Amino acid sequence: MIFPLIHRIVFMNLIAALFLLFAVNASTFAASNGFNPNEITYVVTMSANEKTTSQIDDFSAFYQVLVEGNEPGTLAWQFYRGSDEKIYVIERYSDSDAALQHIANISPGGIQEKEFGDFSDHFVIENIAIHGTPSSKLVEGLEAVGLPLEFRSTISGYSRN
């Protein structure tokens, strides 16, 4: 009777040790494969602001090139059209500082101030869902803009550039 009990205890300890080993190796593996826990991703929901499909398409192509050229910390900037005719932008930033750079660029006096005015002529921003763990400075900057925001914190994941 004692012998099976000892086997069960040893077996449970072995399982716990393997689980711990796997967890440590998985986080090390993720970190060594480029996972960036500081990455911030926005999903912006918009509608067209009395512009034609062609005008939206042309401006979207122009604007993504503008962002790519002025914001080296921006990992991706992609426009999508939904079946509901909504326009979606996925913005990926390497970290909160890169996202703050975008805010600085489109703010009064920023290098993209005029173009952001054009952006606002083309789109009505309905919602911005912020994915990741933004710095308090980024949260303050986003809230100061006055747009509808949703914050979604990271649980787990991986990222490839």
DSSP letters, the chain, are: -HHHHHHHHHHHHHHHHHHHHHHHHHHHHHHHTT--TT-EEEEEEEEESS--HHHHHHHHHHHHHHHHHH-TTEEEEEEEE-TTS-EEEEEEESSHHHHHHHHHHHSTTSTTHHHHHHHHHHEEEEEEEEES---HHHHHHHHHHT--EEEE---S-----
Considering the domain boundaries, does residue 144 fall inside one?
yes
pTM (2 d.p.): 0.77
Residues 27 and 53 in one domain: no
As a whole number of angstroms, the distance between CA 107 and CA 125 comes to: 16
Residues 16 and 94 in one domain: no
pLDDT value for 156: 86
Considering the domain boundaries, does residue 160 fall inside one?
no
pLDDT value for 24: 41
Instruction: Indicate the average pLDDT of the chain.
Output: 86
Query: 124 lies in which domain range?
Result: 40-152
Query: How many structural domains comprise the chain?
Result: 2
pLDDT value for 15: 52
Please name the residues in contact with 69: beta carbons below 8 A apart, sequence gap of 6 or more.
none
pLDDT value for 23: 44
Residues 59 and 29 in one domain: no
Residues 60 and 15 in one domain: no
Q: How many residues in total does the chain contain?
A: 161
Considering the domain boundaries, does residue 15 fall inside one?
yes
pLDDT value for 52: 96
Considering the domain boundaries, does residue 60 fall inside one?
yes
Residues 52 and 129 in one domain: yes
Residues 85 and 123 in one domain: yes
Is the distance from CB of 96 to CB of 151 less than 8 angstroms? Answer: no
Is the distance from CB of 64 to CB of 77 less than 8 angstroms? Answer: yes
Which residues in the chain come in under a pLDDT of 70?
Answer: 1-34, 161
pLDDT value for 9: 59
Residues 50 and 111 in one domain: yes
| β-strand partners of 152 | 131
Residues 144 and 106 in one domain: yes
Considering the domain boundaries, does residue 46 fall inside one?
yes
pLDDT value for 83: 94
The per-residue pLDDT for range 28-68, each reduced to its tens digit, is 444 555 678 899 999 999 999 999 999 999 999 999 999 99
Residues 30 and 88 in one domain: no
Residue 100 CB neighbours (<10 A):
20
Considering the domain boundaries, does residue 137 fall inside one?
yes
Considering the domain boundaries, does residue 115 fall inside one?
yes
pLDDT value for 150: 97
Query: What number of CA atoms fall less than 13 Å from residue 150's CA on the CB side?
Result: 10
Residues 27 and 92 in one domain: no
pLDDT value for 7: 55
Residues 140 and 83 in one domain: yes
pLDDT value for 30: 46
